[in-house]
Amino acid sequence: LTVLTKADAARLRNAERGITRIITKFGASLTEVLNSLDIKHTPIKRIGGGCGSSFYITDIMREEDMTMLSIAMIGKGDFRVLMPNETYYNWYDNGNADDMDEDEKLYDYEDDDEYA
């Protein structure tokens, strides 16, 4: 066992409050659905993935909104719940989400045009 950190305590509090962190590749669809249903959420952050992909992460503030979001996203793109032990979950909290644009440059290759 390890000592409970402040981050661990915050994650436990969020779970008790019914706050759910989600991730998707479909940022535009997610934004559209959240706005149209007036679902309360934290800021949507973009995080770079491998091979130039992007993921969009946000916290849904109420459990009942998760059901509405699941139904509304049918046909618009998938999403999944992030678990507290996942790297992307932690990146959202510690500021790496805002820094990922710089890191994505590491994946630019001079011969990209050959594969386009």
Which domains occur in the chain, in start order? 6-104 (3.30.70.260)
- 41-56 confidence digits (pLDDT tens): 999 999 888 788 889 9
- Alpha helices, DSSP H only, in 1-116? 6-17, 27-36, 63-72, 87-94, 96-104
What is the chain's mean pLDDT, rounded?
A: 80
- 6-21 confidence digits (pLDDT tens): 777 777 787 778 899 9
pLDDT at 99: 36
Q: What pTM, to 2 d.p., does this model score?
A: 0.73
pLDDT at 4: 77
